[in-house]
Amino acid sequence: MGTVVDSIKDAHVSFPGDKKIAVVFVLGGPGSGKGTQCAKIVENYGFTHLSAGDLLRAEIKSGSENGTMISNMIKEGKIVPAEVTINLLQKAMLESGNDKFLIDGFPRNEENRAAFENVTKIEPEFILFFDCPEEEMECRLLSRNQGRVDDNIETIRKRFKVFVESSLPVVGYYDLKGKVRKVDAAKTVNEVFDVVKDIFSPFHKKAE
């Protein structure tokens, strides 16, 4: 049995050429509220929400050799290889049947970004960037108590460091292209969503 890394070499998966795929990358430090806001965008605008972290955790739960490798990397606060995450994302996108996607917590670094565009031939519509002070994110993560292996103080601080060093350059790259929509994520959930609604106004609201 090959791993996901092996299988991507043989998986010539692509989207129909006549179908316009809209992708929004959702970035922000751990605890910045990405998941909460993504749920509201899905409810109101009909996007499919794909969390890179959730897909990786599902792979871990599957008990595969690949899942064990992913688990060990997450515990160390390291970033999983781009081809692993992209293969999981692309599979989920195709299976959804939708053409509008929020990809949450990805790309985690420049390698992820370049590989995603190269493999999928899709450039994001824009980057939704939740900007939140580290102290606020730390408080949120420690209080949410979801029983996740990466919700202890040492791993949280490793994740902050990785985000700043690896993910902020991705935000900078897209900022130069005029594709970053920055949101003050330290505000209340409803205040943040008021700003998000303005950003998503070009997309049709979901029919009631």
> Omega into 169 within 30° of 0, i.e. cis?
no
| pLDDT one-digit tens code per residue, 30-42 | 778 888 899 999 9
Residue 133 lies in a domain: yes
Q: Is 25 part of any domain? A: no
Binding residues, as ranges, are 31-36, 57, 78-80, 105-108, 112, 144, 148, 159, 187
Angle at 70 between CA 42 and CA 114, to 5 degrees: 65
> Is residue 13 one of the residues assigned to a domain?
no
Q: Structure pTM? A: 0.79
| Residue 1: inside a domain | no
Q: Which of 142-146, 151-155, 169-173 comes out lowest in average pLDDT? A: 142-146
In a domain, 162, yes or no: yes
Within a domain: residue 5?
no
145: exposed, middle or buried (C-beta count within 10 Å: 0-12, 13-18, 19+)? exposed
CATH number of domain containing 94:
3.40.50.300
In a domain, 2, yes or no: no
Between these two residues, 24 and 64, which has the higher pLDDT value?
24
Number of domains in the chain: 1
Domain of residue 149 covers 32-196
Which residues belong to the annotated binding site for a ribonucleoside 5'-phosphate?
Answer: 57, 78-80, 105-108, 148, 159
Residue 51 located in a structural domain: yes
Q: Using one digit for the tens of pLDDT, what is the confidence trace for 179-198? A: 999 999 888 889 999 999 99
Residue from 109, 59, 46, 60 nearest 82 by CA? 109
- Residue ranges for the known binding site for CMP are 112
